[in-house]
Chain A
């Protein structure tokens, strides 16, 4: 008779405990099983195309010590959970935890060699840190703003409506009063930034032009909760996330469309973990518009002669889908590229680090407000990489990426245009 197979006793080695709540036990499992392979510090070896662009982790590349990497955070989590260290033992713990842009570069590389969720572990660590040490002073204004105004930019609620004013003549539906299939969710940054709100206006114009039945929430739109979630302020995140889901369900919308990669990742992935269930689909505007472009509903008439490169926002790409061990790290990669390729005159050239192994812009995870120099250093690295392609323009579709890349580019000798995909589309329509 064949001998019985000797399998691991711990069932978590037989199947990753994906469904288990993300608590201390789960964090310990991930941290304990770190093999210190350092894969989380580099682009997956098969994809390394040059010595220059071989790194994946902005934090580790800038700060060099292994403590400032995915591996180091595993070691830190283990030390804390096993009682060998306390959050308050070393002021550097704050930097190790919060400089990280939560970009998921490490997380994606790690998933190539084991079953784990590093970014979720970081989020758990941040939340635990905050319980003991309080929120970071650098993040306090953002948190206060969320609590008071339901947006991250310390702006009065009524201001949220300002971008829609430009669309008065278009007759965009107010979904607080009317019904529509599609909700266009602008997000705090597109909706409130003077510099960026033109993009969401352009999106609304494009949707209107092709006859999409959509509307907005005007000044009743709340933050998606992403900044609170990423910075570990989970109660605030849960308040906003739950309120949003309830509202969207009540409104009966079928699709929530957002142009912001941060909102997208949070609604598409993090909302899945909330008790409130979603009766709608979350799409990034690029996904929706690509469908319309393919159906020839959007026809580009003008030529835009320019060589561009596409920057993959992390939370639209590798962090844009719930994790399923063993399955592709899907995300919105092809859609924006397909749109770009369909614009007459546009030539798309690729950077070395793209899709699930893209280099982050540096602006995520609270680094933009908490560690500006580092965030902008990361952006400059990306701009360098973009320049090496020969492109004259970086196109992307995330207000954080755009803002941070622009900030990073200030003072760089050779300028690079940072343009939102929808603004470029508008030029061709």
Chain B
């Protein structure tokens, strides 16, 4: 028997096993279907490092997911669970024989408990769907920088730096009960799901809080099995039951009711002054969102065509007006009076910290068109419009003050790496979370989507990351996601042993999206 035929026999056996577990219609191995599961705007596909999966399977429910994962263990073939499939990040197969577990048949909202303010969702349910249902009930759930097209579950386990994280806690802190199939096929229920599979209101326990296994600094990347059900917190919302939108694609605007929401755009002389302002706002415990966006974010989200992007960028409309500006949205959570009170406090802080309003015409351009994206949807894919892709230099999650050093260091590298990095005006995104008790820094920029530019940049970023690791990661964590990066950077803090230990314990056959979230293969 030739190697190929042997391989085909095995393929057929696996196919039969999947089909008998979840039905023939829900399993595909044909080239035209699997071809749609390995690409996005990120380097692996552009550089030819990802490949189509061998199978795509569509299970319905936890038991079918368990059956799939057991088959993967039996044949020792890797699987990758994917949510709403908004970008693939580490969801692109990087080795042969991969199985994509696509959750297209698992999009239910099982429950919305208005009184106890939580919802129980399946992995396909997007944040946009959950938001729409929450608004109707006077409740709220956030949106990550990427977009509300992201899966609600995915959005909670991955990073979770959403706008309202300032007030309501970053996404991963909003996870309650979780039902999840481990890489070895066991079903794990945490929080109150462990006592009652229909009741997700409580997050902790039993025993040590296992939710941390899912999140890391950017989620577990499918390396610890697949979450099939999650209870997530909802929050009070003073906005309308239907999101207000005026106009037509791609020029829509959105203005929230003035008696409950108010955006301020405040400009400072220096980044230090801007961050000081963010601290002061946090200290006063006011506002719903506070962000210092880089100028590239303004243009990325504001422009409605690539021509408009580069024309306006060359006019320096945003560079000259929003450098070191901070956007603050006040929310009258409990009443209009609360908003009035917060306005007075904020205006005092602006005065005391020497802030100046961003030019009114620039505010008028930006606020109705894009500011509320940080409440409902960032339309993150607009970031790719002007050059085909964007990348980040580093991320940093520590204090707001530390974020300043992080992005400053970032500028230098961006300068060094330009080209291939395109014009980006010292990109410095600083987000304030938990009332400013912690801060996030990220350095994002456009790069032209060509294998040459991306290949060149990836090499440079790898060198930078090696240096960073040698320096004890003083300036934040690198742009590489998941397992490989954890292996490089983990020893700096000693968390590699923890990740490795967990992975070994629950994934003995190394089937759950290797090498994430830690490489334990030889």
Contact = CB atoms under 8 A, between A and B. Distances in A.
A109 B243 CA distance: 17
Contacts of A37: 40, 86-87, 147, 149, 380-381, 384
Interface in A212-226: none
A36 B314 CA distance: 28
A39 B149 contact: yes
Interface string A1-21: 000011111100111100000
B254 A46 contact: yes
7 contacts: A36-B87, A38-B85, A64-B105, A75-B35, A76-B36, A113-B250, A114-B382
A54 B126 contact: yes
Contact of B35 (A64, A85, A115): A85
Interface stretch (A65-73, A268-276, A337-345, A398-406): A65-73
Interface string A34-54: 111111011111111111001
Contacts of A93: 32
Contacts of A76: 32, 35-36
A122 interface: no
Contacts of A7: 310, 314, 422-423
Interface stretch (A247-255, A288-296, A323-331, A408-416): A323-331
A72 B36 contact: yes
B: contact size bracket: 35 or more
B194 interface: no
Interface stretch (B130-138, B269-277, B479-487): B130-138
B448 A15 contact: no
Contact of B132 (A50, A89, A113, A114): A50
Contacts of B376: 45-46
Given A6-B419, A38-B86, A49-B242, A64 B32 contact: no
B125 interface: yes
Interface in A222-239: none
A41 B382 CA distance: 16
A48 B40 CA distance: 24
Contacts of B40: 35-37
Interface in A105-126: 108-109, 111-115
B179 interface: no
Q: Is the interface of A mostly helix, strand, loop or mixed?
A: loop
Contacts of A46: 243, 245, 252, 254, 376-377
B102 interface: yes
B61 interface: no
Contact of A13 (B129, B243, B248, B306): B306
Contact of A328 (B102, B249, B308, B387): B249
Contact of B248 (A36, A48, A328): A328
Most chain A C-beta atoms within 10 Å of own C-beta, residue among B149, B385, B421, B449: B149
Contact of B389 (A35, A66, A72): A35
A114 B385 contact: yes
Nearest to B107: A51
B310 A14 contact: yes
Interface string B300-317: 000111111010011000
Interface string B25-37: 0001011111111
A91 to B, nearest CB: 8
Q: Is the interface of B mostly helix, strand, loop or mixed?
A: loop
A6 B421 contact: yes
B216 to A, nearest CB: 23
A355 interface: yes
A367 B308 CA distance: 37
Nearest to B382: A113
Contacts of A66: 36-37, 85, 102
Contacts, number: 220
Given A37-B381, A65-B104, 17 more contacts: A5-B313, A5-B314, A6-B423, A32-B388, A35-B40, A35-B87, A46-B377, A48-B128, A49-B243, A50-B133, A64-B105, A75-B36, A108-B249, A115-B307, A327-B304, A328-B248, A328-B249
Nearest to B381: A37
Interface of B: 28, 30-37, 39-41, 56, 58, 84-88, 102, 104-105, 109, 125-133, 136, 143, 147-149, 242-243, 245, 247-252, 254, 303-308, 310, 313-314, 376-377, 379-382, 384-389, 418-419, 421-423, 446, 448-450
Contacts of A14: 306-307, 310
Interface of A: 5-10, 13-16, 32-39, 41-51, 54, 64-67, 69, 71-72, 75-76, 78-79, 84-85, 89-90, 92-93, 96, 108-109, 111-115, 325-330, 355-357
Given A9-B448, A14-B306, A51-B130, A109 B147 contact: no
Contacts of B126: 42, 45, 48, 54
Contacts of B305: 16, 115, 325-326
A39 B383 CA distance: 13
Nearest to B425: A5
A159 to B, nearest CB: 41
A353 to B, nearest CB: 12
A36 B31 CA distance: 18
Contacts of B308: 326
Nearest to A328: B248
A13 B386 contact: yes
B247 A328 contact: yes
